[in-house]
Amino acid sequence: ANNALNVVVVTGDGDGLGIGGNHFIQTMRRNLNICHIIEDNEVYGLTKGQYSPTSPEGFKSPTSLSGAIETPLNPVLTAVSNGATFVARTDMLNPAKLTDIFVKAFSHKGYSVVDVLQLCPTYNKQHDIKWYKERLIDLPEDYDPTDKINAFKKALEVSEKISTGIYYTENRP
């Protein structure tokens, strides 16, 4: 009710993108002044290890022995395409970069989304520190986060490498 407040919402990839997926989309459309941090470990890590909306196809867990059958949801693409005005991806391995992106997301006026790639050593042993260190790269220095078409293209890229940084930002009244 008080639009002068800075609101921070922290969800996992399962509750924020699966169970709360409609809230995620509708809140972005309204461009409310909310900073949404997604703790993305690609699994429901606080329950029984079910695969989540971001689990890779084929991901096996204690509750899905045959593996995930759906194509994983891309939080960055979903955020850019549904109206978030600040969209970033970062990881837990680089605290300085994580802090920098959080500061920018918190100060952004409008709906900001930060997809934080992180470990789940209990249920997602496939994506450990070594796996992330081999794949994480920064967005190029000449990347323009104000270009929405470019943000779509970058979010759609399928590669062995995972780009981190600010994908998109826009200032709307």
CA–chain centroid gap for 1, Å, is 26
In whole angstroms, give the CA distance from residue 35 to residue 112: 5
User: Two tokens at 173?
Assistant: 């009244």
Distance CA 141, CA 156 (A): 19
- State yes or no: pLDDT of 106 exceeds 70: yes
Q: Using one digit for the tens of pLDDT, what is the confidence trace for 10-59?
A: 999 999 999 899 999 999 999 989 999 999 999 988 888 889 999 999 99
Take residue 110 and report the two structure tokens written for it.
Answer: 């409008």
Average pLDDT, the chain: 93
Average pLDDT over residues 149-166: 94
Six token digits for residue 66: 């045959």
Question: What pLDDT score was predicted for residue 173?
Answer: 63
